[in-house]
Amino acid sequence: MSLVCMVAFFGYLVSQGVKLYYPQLELPVFSCAFVIGLLLKKGCDLTKVSRYINPQTTQRLSSSFTDMLVACGVASIKLGVIVKYAIPLIVLLLAGALIVFAITFYFGRHLSHNYWFERTIFAWGWWTGTMAMGIALLRIVDPKLFSKAMDDYAMAYLPIAPIEILLITFVPILFVNGFGLWLSLGCVVISALILLLAWRMKWWVNKN
């Protein structure tokens, strides 16, 4: 318990420290705690302390806290806002669900060398709801986290976070000022270049 809480605490301090010096950049505590956990694991291995740590116990504790995170994420949904903007939300929900379904269950199948469904179902929950929703779906199909999807997410989100913050900040402004079409075309072109890079680097997996 002390090890898990210590990792979470230092992850929180790192996240708040980055936010203090760079208010525009807010790293998720989960990702920061994951990096701290990796450093702690490396230190325990070097000092031979790992022999006294039971990985099954720490895994069960982490799983319990993950379930609490999911419950808090669901409880934070404000029903009043959903009722007030019901029609626009329905339109966005249908369009977003179709686009995300095509992205995750087609490209996810071809861009993952293993555990493609577990990684994809987490992305589906994250993109159509919140990270907590993605964790909940992942916990259903991969309760023991054999796929390491959460580990990969924690590492990958660190470079993604600044890009996501920029998109959330400037996309509404660009759409309001009439640059929505150009922005959409730019995103499509960048996505095509990323897929071309994946194909050239042989990251594309051909599956039946």
Which pLDDT tens digit goes with each residue over 127-178?
887 777 888 888 888 888 888 888 888 778 778 777 877 777 678 778 878 8
C-alpha 104/C-alpha 109 separation (Å) is 8
The residues near 204 (Cβ < 8 Å, ≥ 6 apart) are 110, 111, 195, 198
The residues near 63 (Cβ < 8 Å, ≥ 6 apart) are 139, 143, 145
C-alpha 99/C-alpha 113 separation (Å) is 23
CB 44, CB 50: distance < 8 Å: yes
Token digits for 170? 């400037």
Q: Is the pLDDT of residue 9 over 90?
A: yes
Whole-number pLDDT of residue 208: 58
Token digits for 113? 């060398």
Whole-number pLDDT of residue 26: 73
> Tell me: the pLDDT tens digits for 183-194?
889 888 998 998
Q: Is the pLDDT of residue 10 over 90?
A: yes
Q: What single string gives the DSSP state of each residue in the chain?
A: -HHHHHHHHHHHHHHHHHHHH-TT----HHHHHHHHHHHHHHHHHHTTGGGG--HHHHHHHHHHHHHHHHHHHHHT--HHHHHHTHHHHHHHHHHHHHHHHHIIIIIHHHH-SS-HHHHHHHHHHHHHS-HHHHHHHHHHH-TT-TT-HHHHHHHHHHHHHHHHHHHHHHHHHHHHTT-HHHHHHHHHHHHHHHHHHHHHTT------
Three-state helix/strand/coil letters over 40-65: HHHHHHHCCHHHHCCHHHHHHHHHHH
> Tell me: the pLDDT tens digits for 69-112?
777 877 877 888 888 888 988 998 898 888 888 888 888 888 88
pTM of the entire predicted model: 0.57
CB 121, CB 135: distance < 8 Å: no
Whole-number pLDDT of residue 207: 64
